[in-house]
Amino acid sequence: MTDQMTKMTAEQIMSNELVTVTADVPIYEAVRTIVNKGLTALPVVKADNVLVGIISEKDVLKVMAEDKTGTVENYMTTSLFTMGPDSDIDDVAKALVENSFRRVPIVDAENRILGIISRRDLIKFVV
Protein backbone atom coordinates (compact mmCIF):
# COMPACT_ATOMS: atom_id res chain seq x y z
CA MET A 1 0.00 0.00 0.00
CA THR A 2 1.33 3.44 -0.82
CA ASP A 3 1.86 6.08 1.89
CA GLN A 4 -0.48 8.35 -0.09
CA MET A 5 -3.36 5.93 0.45
CA THR A 6 -2.90 5.06 4.09
CA LYS A 7 -3.34 8.68 5.17
CA MET A 8 -6.73 9.04 3.52
CA THR A 9 -10.27 8.29 4.65
CA ALA A 10 -13.15 6.89 2.62
CA GLU A 11 -14.93 10.23 2.62
CA GLN A 12 -12.03 11.89 0.85
CA ILE A 13 -12.08 9.70 -2.24
CA MET A 14 -15.64 8.36 -2.50
CA SER A 15 -17.86 9.31 -5.43
CA ASN A 16 -20.79 11.23 -3.98
CA GLU A 17 -22.66 12.12 -7.16
CA LEU A 18 -24.94 9.14 -6.82
CA VAL A 19 -27.72 7.91 -9.05
CA THR A 20 -30.08 5.91 -6.83
CA VAL A 21 -33.28 3.97 -7.32
CA THR A 22 -36.12 2.86 -5.07
CA ALA A 23 -37.11 -0.77 -4.58
CA ASP A 24 -40.55 -0.37 -6.17
CA VAL A 25 -39.18 0.71 -9.57
CA PRO A 26 -39.81 -1.77 -12.44
CA ILE A 27 -36.64 -3.75 -13.08
CA TYR A 28 -36.39 -2.69 -16.74
CA GLU A 29 -36.46 0.97 -15.71
CA ALA A 30 -33.39 0.26 -13.58
CA VAL A 31 -31.79 -1.62 -16.49
CA ARG A 32 -32.26 1.39 -18.77
CA THR A 33 -30.82 3.74 -16.15
CA ILE A 34 -27.74 1.52 -15.79
CA VAL A 35 -27.25 1.23 -19.54
CA ASN A 36 -28.05 4.84 -20.49
CA LYS A 37 -25.92 6.38 -17.77
CA GLY A 38 -23.04 3.92 -18.19
CA LEU A 39 -23.23 2.75 -14.56
CA THR A 40 -22.16 -0.58 -13.11
CA ALA A 41 -24.70 -0.56 -10.25
CA LEU A 42 -27.45 1.44 -8.58
CA PRO A 43 -27.78 1.84 -4.82
CA VAL A 44 -31.37 1.11 -3.76
CA VAL A 45 -32.65 3.53 -1.14
CA LYS A 46 -35.78 4.28 0.86
CA ALA A 47 -36.78 7.57 2.51
CA ASP A 48 -33.89 9.75 3.68
CA ASN A 49 -31.47 7.91 1.37
CA VAL A 50 -31.27 4.93 3.72
CA LEU A 51 -29.53 2.14 1.82
CA VAL A 52 -31.58 -1.05 1.44
CA GLY A 53 -29.72 -2.81 -1.37
CA ILE A 54 -27.74 -2.61 -4.58
CA ILE A 55 -28.81 -3.64 -8.05
CA SER A 56 -25.77 -4.39 -10.18
CA GLU A 57 -25.03 -5.06 -13.85
CA LYS A 58 -24.67 -8.70 -12.90
CA ASP A 59 -28.10 -8.79 -11.22
CA VAL A 60 -29.84 -7.21 -14.20
CA LEU A 61 -27.97 -9.30 -16.75
CA LYS A 62 -29.40 -12.38 -15.05
CA VAL A 63 -32.90 -10.88 -15.15
CA MET A 64 -32.53 -10.10 -18.84
CA ALA A 65 -31.01 -13.46 -19.79
CA GLU A 66 -33.86 -15.28 -18.09
CA ASP A 67 -36.46 -12.81 -19.43
CA LYS A 68 -37.89 -12.14 -15.98
CA THR A 69 -40.05 -9.21 -14.86
CA GLY A 70 -40.82 -7.50 -11.58
CA THR A 71 -39.39 -4.68 -9.52
CA VAL A 72 -35.91 -3.86 -8.29
CA GLU A 73 -36.83 -5.32 -4.91
CA ASN A 74 -37.13 -8.81 -6.44
CA TYR A 75 -33.54 -8.89 -7.69
CA MET A 76 -31.40 -6.49 -5.64
CA THR A 77 -28.63 -7.69 -3.34
CA THR A 78 -29.58 -6.88 0.24
CA SER A 79 -26.68 -8.44 2.11
CA LEU A 80 -24.23 -5.57 1.74
CA PHE A 81 -20.74 -4.86 2.94
CA THR A 82 -20.61 -1.17 3.88
CA MET A 83 -18.09 1.10 5.55
CA GLY A 84 -18.22 4.44 7.35
CA PRO A 85 -16.87 7.75 6.02
CA ASP A 86 -13.95 7.73 8.47
CA SER A 87 -12.72 4.29 7.36
CA ASP A 88 -9.10 4.07 6.33
CA ILE A 89 -8.63 3.73 2.56
CA ASP A 90 -6.27 0.87 3.30
CA ASP A 91 -9.21 -1.09 4.75
CA VAL A 92 -11.43 -0.25 1.78
CA ALA A 93 -8.72 -1.47 -0.62
CA LYS A 94 -8.28 -4.65 1.42
CA ALA A 95 -12.01 -5.36 1.25
CA LEU A 96 -12.06 -4.83 -2.52
CA VAL A 97 -9.01 -7.06 -3.06
CA GLU A 98 -10.18 -9.88 -0.84
CA ASN A 99 -13.81 -10.04 -1.98
CA SER A 100 -15.60 -10.37 -5.28
CA PHE A 101 -17.61 -7.14 -4.98
CA ARG A 102 -16.51 -4.19 -7.09
CA ARG A 103 -17.61 -1.31 -4.86
CA VAL A 104 -18.15 -0.43 -1.23
CA PRO A 105 -21.07 1.84 -0.25
CA ILE A 106 -20.09 4.42 2.35
CA VAL A 107 -22.87 5.02 4.89
CA ASP A 108 -23.41 7.04 8.06
CA ALA A 109 -24.53 5.65 11.43
CA GLU A 110 -28.17 5.62 10.27
CA ASN A 111 -27.22 3.66 7.13
CA ARG A 112 -27.84 6.68 4.88
CA ILE A 113 -25.70 6.41 1.78
CA LEU A 114 -23.03 9.10 1.49
CA GLY A 115 -21.03 7.76 -1.43
CA ILE A 116 -19.48 4.76 -3.13
CA ILE A 117 -15.87 3.69 -3.61
CA SER A 118 -15.24 1.42 -6.57
CA ARG A 119 -12.07 -0.38 -7.64
CA ARG A 120 -11.78 2.26 -10.33
CA ASP A 121 -11.96 5.12 -7.78
CA LEU A 122 -9.07 3.62 -5.82
CA ILE A 123 -6.91 2.97 -8.88
CA LYS A 124 -7.61 6.46 -10.25
CA PHE A 125 -6.68 7.96 -6.94
CA VAL A 126 -3.32 6.22 -6.72
CA VAL A 127 -2.19 6.51 -10.34
Partner 1 sequence: MFEAATIMQTNVPITEPDTTIKTAIHRMNSEALTGLPVLNPNRTLAGMLSEKDVLRLIYEKQNANGFVNQFMTIDPVSFETDATIMEICQCIINNNFRQIPITENGKFAGLISRKDLMNFLLRLRGKQEQGN
Residues at the interface with partner 1 (CB under 8 A): 1-2, 5, 28, 31-32, 34-35, 38, 57-58, 60-62, 64-65, 67, 90, 93-94, 96-97, 100, 102, 119-120, 122-124, 126-127
Minimum distance between the CB of residue 64 and partner 1, rounded to whole angstroms?
4
Q: Report d(CA 90, CA 3) in Å as an integer.
A: 10
Q: Which is nearer to partner 1, 39 or 111 (CB)?
A: 39
Nearest to 24 by CA among 41, 47, 48: 47
Q: Which is nearer to partner 1, 31 or 113 (CB)?
A: 31
Minimum distance between the CB of residue 51 and partner 1, rounded to whole angstroms?
22
Q: Which is nearer to partner 1, 46 or 78 (CB)?
A: 78
Handedness of CA 102, 105, 106, 109 (dihedral sign): negative
Residue type, 60: V
In contact, 41 and 117? CB cutoff 8 Å: no
Q: Which is nearer to partner 1, 45 or 96 (CB)?
A: 96
DSSP letter at 104 equals E
